[in-house]
């Protein structure tokens, strides 16, 4: 009899023994939000999960546990992080994004959650000057990770910001789909 392939567990099952307390509950609430808004969550690799809308990535969720290693970086606590995907601050989209951030009063929260390069990607390891220079919400940041933002164990204010940025990303996807039709 051929060996059956084991099904990939859902994110809620995956975190069962990895996170606890308020950290776990905030991620479970975020999972419920994604489901309610037709944004399926799928395993990307290891501890990385993608949030999708109409087949395109909207966000990435990373689960970290104490001692978890990604590239050169070793995490020192149990946490979850979310970054909104493809909010590229150096494209034609960036003036619209900056305006959106300003109009939605997200500037301070976005700036507080800039992700700095930790050498987790092969391209960054050993680079003379790891990370990127990005103008984010009107301010120039150096040594920024390619994801630009990472909201670690987001509180209510940060989660509100994440959801609004995800809505912006969803609107970009809808516009892309409309332009292709």
Q: What is the mean pLDDT of the chain?
A: 81
**Helices in 59-127 by DSSP H: which ranges?**
94-103, 107-112
Lowest mean pLDDT among 22-26, 148-152, 165-169: 148-152
Per-residue model confidence as pLDDT tens digits over 60-99: 998 888 877 776 667 778 889 898 876 655 554 567 888 8
120 pLDDT above the threshold of 50 = yes
What is the enclosing helix (H) or strand (E) of 31?
Answer: helix 21-36
Alpha carbons 9 and 122: distance in angstroms, whole number: 27
Alpha carbons 135 and 109: distance in angstroms, whole number: 15
Q: Which residues pair with 126 in a beta bridge?
A: none
Exposure string over 124-146, b if 16+ CB within 10 A, otherwise e: beeeeebbbebebbeeebeebbe
What's the pLDDT at 4? 44
pTM of the model: 0.82
Q: What tokens appear for 30 in the block? A: 């975020």
What's the pLDDT at 93? 54
What's the pLDDT at 6? 46
What's the pLDDT at 7? 46
Mean pLDDT comparison of 10-19, 42-51, 157-166, highest-scoring range: 157-166
Name the more confident of 135 and 158.
158
29 pLDDT above the threshold of 60 = yes
CB neighbours of 19 closer than 8 A, spacing ≥ 6? 27, 63, 78, 79, 80
What is the enclosing helix (H) or strand (E) of 51?
Answer: strand 48-53
- Average of per-residue pLDDT across 123-136: 67
């Amino acid at each position: 009899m051929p060996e059956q392939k084991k099904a990939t567990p859902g994110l809620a099952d995956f975190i069962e023994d990895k996170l606890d307390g308020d950290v776990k509950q905030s991620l479970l609430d975020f999972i419920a939000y994604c489901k309610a808004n037709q944004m399926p969550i799928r395993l990307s690799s290891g501890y990385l999960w993608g949030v999708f809308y109409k087949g395109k990535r909207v966000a990435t969720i990373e689960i970290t546990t104490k001692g978890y290693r990604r590239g050169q970086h070793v995490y020192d606590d149990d946490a979850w992080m979310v970054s909104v995907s493809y909010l590229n601050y150096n494209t034609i989209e960036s003036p619209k994004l900056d305006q959106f951030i300003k109009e939605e009063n997200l500037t301070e929260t976005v700036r507080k959650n800039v992700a700095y390069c930790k050498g987790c990607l092969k391209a960054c390891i050993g680079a003379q000057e790891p990370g990127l220079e990005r103008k984010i919400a009107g301010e120039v940041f150096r040594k920024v990770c390619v994801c630009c933002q990472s909201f670690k164990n987001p509180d209510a204010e940060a989660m509100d910001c994440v959801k609004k940025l995800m809505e912006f990303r969803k609107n970009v996807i809808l516009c892309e789909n409309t332009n292709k039709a």
